[in-house]
Structure 1
Amino acid sequence: MRVFWIVVCLSLFNLNAFAQNSTFELSGHVKSPKGSALDGAYVKIGEQYFWTSEEGNYSAKLPEGNYKVHVSIIGFTPVDTVVQLHKNRTLDFVLKQSINGLDEVMLEGHQHKKTSQQVLYVDNDYLQNQFSGSLASSLEKLPGFNAMQIGSGASKPIIRGLGLNRVAVAENGVKQEGQQWGADHGLEIDALQVEDLEIIKGVGSIAYGSDALGGVVRIKNNNIPNEGLSGSVYTFAKSVNNSLGGSAQIAYKKDDWFVKGKLTGLSFGDYKLPTDQISYLNFDIPIYDEQLKNTAGKELDWYTQIGLVKERFSSTISLSKVYQKSGFFPGSHGIPDISRVEPDGDTRNIEEPFQRATHFKIINNSTFVFENGELDIDLSFQRNHRQEWSLFHTHYAGQQPPEINPNLELDFDLDTYGAKATYHHTFSKKHETRLGLDTQWKSNKIKGFNFLLPEYQSANYAIFAIHEFEPSQENLWTLGLRFDYGTIDMKGYYDPNLYEFLIGNNQSEETATSYAQRSQDLDRNFTSFNIRLGWDHQFNDQFSSKINLGTAFRLPTAIELGANGIHHGSFRHEQGDPNLDPEQGFMADVSLNYRENSWNINLTPYAYFFNNYIFLRPSGTFSLLPHSGQLYKYTESEALLSGVELQVDKELGRWHFGVAGEYIYNQQLTSNRSRNYPLPFTPANNVFTEVGYQLFTDSKIFNATEVSISNRSVMQQDRIAQGEEITPGYSLWGVGYQTLLEFDGFKANINFRIDNLLNTKYFNHTSFYRRLQIPEMGRNIQLSIKIPFGQS
């Protein structure tokens, strides 16, 4: 690793002079069909992005090479092209008007060219090139973003050390609702069909409410296609789990109407590990053929959308379904048994225990355009059905298997209805205001022979207002206010079999009754008021900053209030507290950015203080439930979470250098300082480095061709919460090759890469399997090909 950094530094110094002499200017004008300048149009050239001036002009100084150029602005059809830059060039764009009111913007930012929050922009090409089996794992190269791994086919996002119910995921303005509370529950999103994505780092509570305390992963699948027929076909293969998959999309637009269809399917086998043995609970468990048994899975997703676009009205209806089925390593459910992990002769079959998840969504986005304003209405219905199947087993005598589906261990069936209305009014060029109403209603039913979470119904009603004041081109002020009123009604659950078992084991009647009453009837209301102030300031052409101050909140979830049972996904007895209050916090972050001569440097320190951070804490006593170990209780404490993120990008001729790193420090704050442990599920400090080199810059067939080498270094995580184990540091190497093949009207994006090149054995601190001492996947060779067709 030391040699690698020395090479990087020497390359920076030796090539810098050459790069200055090989830099060319790409500039131009962006206008409407009527010839008027488009102020604030978004222009992305390669990995850099710009916004047009009031006169519609843009200008960029770039090294020689081939660049993908994307130009877009709300209300107009985006344009994409590839530019060969070997001299100063002028490139103008005329965007066709589409009145795309569906391309809703983040409510806490400026509509076009500015936002006072930290935002990372990701397009479909990036996601497909970086696809690693799930959406969250495909984004791990971005600063401040980590993935909580669940085997090889599922993961969930972590932003600035916050995950689970503290990061909101929204599609077309509608917040995704499922079983986010579990470390073994994946995110039911089709990563290959995401059209555009934004990661809002920092509190997003004003626009998206509870669960957006750590940030928002904002998915936009509402781009209006070009006139006529268009589409693409994408296929990939991975060696680490013999994964095969493909995705196809097709779109057709004629006059005011358009329709889109998408389909994704993938299948993967048991994944390979760089080890032949693991040790868990004093058991030495062999890993035969270095493959983790029963971690195979499959996924089948579809998406369809129909839309109408008029001059002052636009509307779409989107229907989607994501189906996932994947196995659990047999040792993760119940007491480890060596006989259960012996090979069965089929690495692609899925045996019990396994999980099955289905997420169905229907979303209607409508926009009404007025003279000085715009009304957006988002209506939605979601059904998240998640099951865990395991061969029926009882931890105490007297429990009989259910007559129907006797091996169904846990079944959660969550229905969510949502309605959101946002009115955007422009008073002048300097003043814009958004007023919104946000409502949501949930109903969760349960089944299965095991008990963890009671049935419940909940609702949330909110009003919010966001005002933006732009006194000059150098300054943007944002003030956001939000008030929430939430309710939750949980049903009690009594287990007579458990009562008889405990009485038979000489427990007192009082103790047996308290354990048998697994959950109490609960009816609670919550309120929360929050505020955020943001300032975006441009010092000069090179330096800019963003500052955000405000409060954040999160309502306690049903699992935190009412859980009481053995959670095999976490390997412990978890117990909720019906008296928990909403999490309330204060946040501050500062983003400093420098951009000149293809340098792009961003430094972002941040800090959160929580009055009552909710987390699972070991109680210090053992549960009376058989095979459950120590009792973990949801509790609340003052807490501090802070850190700093760094991103550096530099173009040097044909070379590209990129560094993205983060440092996280957090702490419980209690009256007893000896109990001030770090917070659980905290990613280790890490840095990702990549060096790329462009090839075939003069070729007419091979465009945007690059070879790259990367390194991800993760420090030892020894700042651990109670019940966690120290995770050693590690260093992973990877290589890649990508190109755009183009000849005779045919196009194909080809991406080849090798991850974990040296087959390093390592542990991810936030992984679902970390508690079982199971390392992460070994060397992976992946090839993907995307072929677009039709209008582009």
Structure 2
Amino acid sequence: MRRLLTFILTILTLASSAQNGSLKGTVTVNSTPLAYATVILSGTKYGTTANDKGFYEIKNIAPGEYTVVFSSIGYFPERLKVALSSGDTVIRHAELKEGSSRLNEVVVTGVSRATELRSNPVPIAVMTKSEIDQNVNNNIIDAIIKGIPGITAVTTGPNISKPFIRGLGYNRVLTLYDGIRQEGQQWGDEHGIEIDQYGISRAEVIKGPASLTYGSDALAGVINLIPYIPNGEDGKLNGDIITDYHTNNGLIGSSLGLSYKKSDWKYAFRATGKAAHNYRNKIDGYVYNSAFQEYILSGMARVDKKWGFSQFSATTYNNKQEIPDGSRDSLTRRFTVQVAEAGNDDIRNRPFADENRLNSYGLTPLHQHIQHYRVYNKTEVKLGEGVFASALGWQQSVRREYNHPTQPQQAGLYVTLNTLNYDFRYSPKVFNGWETSFGVNGIAQTNRSKQATDFPIPDYNLFDIGGFVFVKKTIGKTDISGGIRYDTRNISWNDFYVGPNAANGFEQHVSATDPGARLQFPNFKHTYHGISGSLGFTYNVSERVLLKANIARGYRAPNITEIGSNGLDPGAHIVYLGNRTFEPEFSLQEDLGFIAYLKDVDLMAELFNNQIENYIYQSRLDDANGNPVIIVPGNTTYQYQQSKARLYGAEFTFNLHPHNAKWIEWNNSAAYVVGINQNKALIAQSNGAAKYLPFIPPLHIRSEIKLKLQGTYGIFSKVYFRAEVDAYAAQNHYYALNDTETPTPGYTLINAGIGSTLKAKSGKTICELFLQADNLFDVAYQSNLNRLKYFEYYNASPNGRLGIYNIGRNLSVKVIVPF
């Protein structure tokens, strides 16, 4: 198979395989070889990575004059001019200098060519693997939240976090896995991200519209989670074993990663398992039905040749996740267990959840089961001095939610989503300093309900396609880039009938002629269109100081639940009602940024203003008397609304890292966003209750001091201690209409951590050790983005506390053993 793949791709690129010139040399720091430095010819796709001895070589370079850029994280780049003639071999050595600047990191998200972070006018942030490792969390999204200002998440317990960027979330945030858009029925409140947190080596986050290169669903931004690509010693099996334990919910995580590199081929494999019992806090004790189990396998094979590369990857994800419903005794506030159905279920007299249930790693009959499968190929071929890139993928998401205590094997929700991803891009030769790219991408989807009893959305078909043109040029100290895109999305479904199921006493999907059939989803067909684009510039005041400005128009077609929902989502405990007349959302966002990575300090200020047409949001449905509309007992009813909206705010970063005191760092950030509902008639009618948008995070301030011991202490090296203050202000700007949201008091969490690398006398790394304490003083708090805050059956309680609280004190340890 390997030989066949190589033969086919070689035949396809014979036109580009002719030998031209070549460039080689070494990369050093203080005359010492620097392993795995990046070497690229600026403005082209010629590039390579130095080996473990600092040696590099780039072959098949067309004759011409180039700027060679040598870079590595933690070092300032070196730029050298080189002229190549046909058949020449030119030798160039580079000496890099240590530096803390991250402006010269190369990013791949939101651009059509790998681009230095400094030249991208769009606000983009990067988290490296070491930073992810130091933020021990239940999932990858929570790790990103701690490291990047402006990123938050709507949560449903410890293992379900839906990312929000600057107050916008759900289908407005596009999550990518290795550049492939993640499709896993992400329309639901309780639907998390189906990605292995231990297999991610890097995260790149775009804050703002990224519709230009990704189309619909990137209105708020993009989170690209990039897995590890083997780059170690040739012919040697490498790997790591990761173990993770949390005291609060007893989380046990284990992951085995293997990688192998032989000549032009690279292979990687990872197996991960996690299990946790119910989490706890000092108000609720153990939160019944918040346990989970998760198992993930992933594999990759990649070939790198002179003509480019081709990579085949596959992942399988299996998660069983309990979802609490908040039912409890009105006096003792102890959690209770549903044991009967509908009319036979006496909510006020359910039995208590006993200690065995609360501490068990076993899952209760009422849970959701998510399976996600993914296979994809990414190929990049050099065509002369241009590059053609393709990405093709298939994903299947199977979601079952079990909500029938008397028939625990009967799924309430059972849907299967199949998605085909496609992306084709071409970047021609750089002409007179102009970098251009154009491409077409999109998805095709089918969603089908299986043997279920509840049907919140219809069986639908979706086809999405969009094309774009991107242009970039550097004029003196100014980098200018922008482009335009056109998208079209067609979504349709046929009449969908439900009727009685005599076998189980519930409902089922039936044909129109079956006895008792009723039409739940009338047929629908519509095509949405959108034009998006961006224009921005970066002005390089100096090597360390930048000014950035960008204006972007984003586009998002309504998702399936917003236009088609009409039923109970069992896991969310919500009946959703959609609106078939909704128009696409369009945003116009302006960004201004000041970035300075100075010798002793990092300074960043990013301001944004976002005006959205046809903004879609959820609002609780009340009747004419102001009482909640109850369609399904024990479940809230929400109806989607649409109006104009405005979001504005800023993020600030101040990091102090004295050059003459490398043992200390002081890192600080602040993020603030305001979301205004511009439906003036509704605001007036509700006496101001509808003034603000729902799910807007409050002011968030984070301050961390980090002490790094210099030198080694026996087997311990790279020892650090850190203490963090994580403060959230009160949120009194909330969507109060029909009590959709309530005010949230402010709170401050104190976190701390210790880490070290353990090495043998030979210098070989034994392991990396991370100890962390979150919410050290066991503060009782409710995040305003915590959905469990609203899981409550009563209007008052003896202790004055309503809803479920966030996780309490958690001590965790993570050990990474490389081999």
CA displacement, residues 716-774 of structure 1 (integer Å, 9 cap, x when unaligned): 11111131111111000011101111122233111101100001100011123121211
Structure 1 residue 787: Cα displacement: 1.4
Question: For residue 734 of structure 1, what is the amino acid of its counterpart?
Answer: N
TM-score, normalization: structure 1? 0.82
> 1:740 corresponds to which residue?
757
Q: Contact 1:108/1:480 (CA < 8 Å) preserved in 2?
A: no
Say if 1:710 and 1:38 are closer, same or farther in 2 by CA, change over 3 A: farther
Corresponding residue for residue 786 of structure 1:
816
Counterparts in 2 of 1:310 and 1:565: CA distance versus 1, 3 Å: same
| Local SS of the residue matching 1:195 | strand
Query: Matches of 2:747 and 2:136 in 1, distance apart?
Result: 22
Equivalent residues, number: 689
Select the residue among 724, 729, 751 that pairs with 1:710: 724
Contact 1:331–1:337, Cα closer than 8 Å, also in 2: no
CA contact 1:753–1:781 (8 Å) conserved in 2: yes
* Distance of 2:805 and 2:630 partners within structure 1: 31
Which residue of structure 1 aligns with residue 132 of structure 2?
127
Aligned 8 A contact 1:124 1:192 in 2: no
Encode CA deviations 1:432-477: one digit per residue, 9 max, x unaligned.
11111103100001131112111101010111111111123x2111
Q: Counterparts in 2 of 1:310-329, with a 5 A limit?
A: 310-329=305-324
Identify which range, 683-692 or 125-134, moves more after superposition: 125-134
Q: Is 1:697 aligned with 2:697?
A: no
**1:303 pairs with 282, 285, 298, which one?**
298
The one-letter code sitting in structure 1 at the alignment partner of 2:742 is E
Matched, 1:53 2:79: yes
Question: How far is 1:43 from its partner?
Answer: 2.5
Alignment of 1:463 onto 2:467: yes
With over 3 angstroms needed to count, the CA separation of the structure-2 counterparts of 1:336 and 1:118, relative to structure 1, is farther
Counting aligned pairs with the same residue, the percent is 22
Residue in structure 1 matching 2:778, options 759, 777, 781: 759
Do the aligned residues in 1 keep the contact of 2:494 with 2:523 (CA within 8 Å)? yes
| CA distance, structure 2, for counterparts of residue 708 and residue 434 of structure 1 | 44
Give, in whole Å, the separation in 2 of the partners of 1:341 and 1:777: 19
Matched residue of 2:806: which SS? coil
Letter in 2 for 1:767: N
Find the counterpart in structure 1 of residue 362 from structure 2: 349
Pairwise CA distance, 1:116: 1.8
Q: Distance in 1 between matches of 2:109 and 2:310?
A: 16
Q: 1:579 deviation in Å?
A: 0.8
Query: Which stretch of structure 1 is more off in the superposition, 149-158 or 565-574?
Result: 565-574
Inter-CA distance 70–306: structure 2 relative to 1 (3 Å threshold): farther
Cα displacement (A) at 1:183: 1.3
Unaligned runs of 5+ in 1: 1-24, 63-68, 75-102, 277-289, 394-400, 499-514
Map of 1:65 onto structure 2 = none
3-state SS in 1 of match to 2:371: strand
Aligned counterparts of 1:632 and 1:591: Cα–Cα separation in 2:
38
AA aligned opposite 2:607? P
Are positions 1:244 and 2:252 aligned together?
A: yes
2:598 aligned residue: 596
SS in 2 for 1:602: strand
Matched, 1:364 2:377: yes
Does residue 679 (structure 1) correspond to residue 676 (structure 2)? The answer is no
Q: Which residue of 1 aligns with 2:668?
A: 659
1:235–1:34: structure 2 CA closer, same or farther, 3 Å change rule? closer
Tell me the secondary structure at the aligned position of residue 248 of structure 1. Answer: strand
Amino acid at match of 1:314: F
Following the alignment from structure 2 to structure 1, what is the Cα–Cα distance between the partners of residues 809 and 428? 53
Contact 2:76 2:99 in 1 (8 A): no
Structure 1 counterpart of 2:263: 255
| Aligned partner (choices 151, 173, 177) of residue 179 of structure 2 | 173
Deviation at 1:105, TM superposition (A): 5.1
Other structure's SS at 1:770 match: helix
In 1, Cα distance between equivalents of 2:303 and 2:276: 38
Residues 572 and 628, structure 1, Cα contact 8 Å, conserved in 2:
no
Secondary structure class of the residue paired with 2:136: coil
Tell me how far apart the structure 2 counterparts of residues 107 and 760 of structure 1 sit (CA, whole Å).
Answer: 42
Partner of 1:53: helix, strand, or coil? strand
**Shift in Å, 1:573:** 2.7
Aligned to 1:87: none
Check 1:624–1:593 CA distance in 2 against 1; reply closer, same or farther (3 A cut). closer
What does 1:259-338 correspond to in 2, within 5 Å? Answer: 259-276=267-284, 290-331=285-326, 335=347, 338=350
- Rounded to whole Å, the distance in 2 between the matches of 1:296 and 1:656 is 37
* 751-760 vs 693-702, which moves further: 693-702
> Partner residue of 1:538?
540
Residue of structure 2 in register with 1:43 after alignment: 72
Deviation at 1:140, TM superposition (A): 1.6
Are the structure 2 counterparts of residues 471 and 110 from structure 1 closer, same or farther at C-alpha, using a change threshold of 3 Å?
farther
C-alpha distance in 1 between matches for 2:395 and 2:315 = 10
Worse-superposed segment, 534-543 or 190-199 = 534-543
Q: Which residue identity is paired with 1:291?
A: Y
Shift of 1:203: 1.1
Task: Tell me the C-alpha RMSD between the 2 structures.
Answer: 2.7
**Structure 1 counterpart of 2:800:** none
CA offset at residue 156 of structure 1?
1.9
* Structure-to-structure mapping, 1:16-415, within 5 angstroms: 33=55, 39-45=68-74, 50-54=76-80, 58-60=96-98, 106-107=110-111, 111-112=115-116, 114-141=119-146, 142-221=148-227, 223-226=229-232, 227-228=234-235, 229-276=237-284, 290-331=285-326, 335=347, 338-345=350-357, 346-391=359-404, 407-415=410-418
Structure 2 match to 1:579 = 581
Q: Is contact 2:402–2:409 with CA below 8 Å preserved after alignment?
A: no
Query: 2-side partners of 1:497 and 1:354: how far apart?
Result: 24
Matching residue within 416, 422, 432 for 2:425: 422
Return closer, same or farther for 1:624/1:735 CA change in 2, 3 Å cut-off.
closer
1:138 is paired with a residue whose SS is: helix
Partner SS for 1:581: coil
TM-aligned CA deviation for residue 157 of structure 1: 1.2
Contact 2:161 2:193 in 1 (8 A): yes
SS of the residue corresponding to residue 560 of structure 1 reads: helix
Query: Is the 8 Å Cα contact of residues 137 and 149 (structure 1) preserved in structure 2?
Result: no
Q: CA 1:593–1:769 in structure 2 vs 1: closer, same or farther (change >3 Å)?
A: same
For residues 523 and 35 of structure 1, what CA distance do their matches in structure 2 show? 55
Preserved CA contact (<8 Å) 1:108 1:116: no
Alpha-carbon separation, structure 2, partners of 1:213 and 1:660: 24
Quick check: 2:124–2:205 contact (8 Å CA) kept in 1? yes
Q: Secondary structure at the match of 2:562?
A: helix
Secondary structure in 1 aligned to 2:657?
strand
Q: Counterparts in 2 of 1:544-583, with a 5 A limit?
A: 544-583=546-585
| Paired residues of 1:41 and 1:71 also in contact (CA < 8 A) | no
Shift of 1:572: 3.6
Superposed CA deviations along residues 354-398 of structure 1, whole A, max 9, x for unmatched, are 1111111001011101221111110000001111111257xxxxx
Task: State the alpha-carbon separation in 1 of the partners of residues 698 and 570 from structure 2.
Answer: 25
For 2:505, the equivalent position in structure 1 comes to none
> Which consecutive unaligned segments of at least 5 residues does structure 2 have?
1-28, 40-49, 59-65, 82-93, 328-337, 502-516, 792-802
Amino acid in structure 2 at the alignment position of 1:149: T
Alpha-carbon distance, 1:317 to partner: 0.6
Q: Secondary structure at the match of 2:132?
A: helix
Distance 1:612 1:436, change over 3 A: same
Structure 1 residues 616, 351: CA separation in 2 closer, same or farther (over 3 Å shift)? same
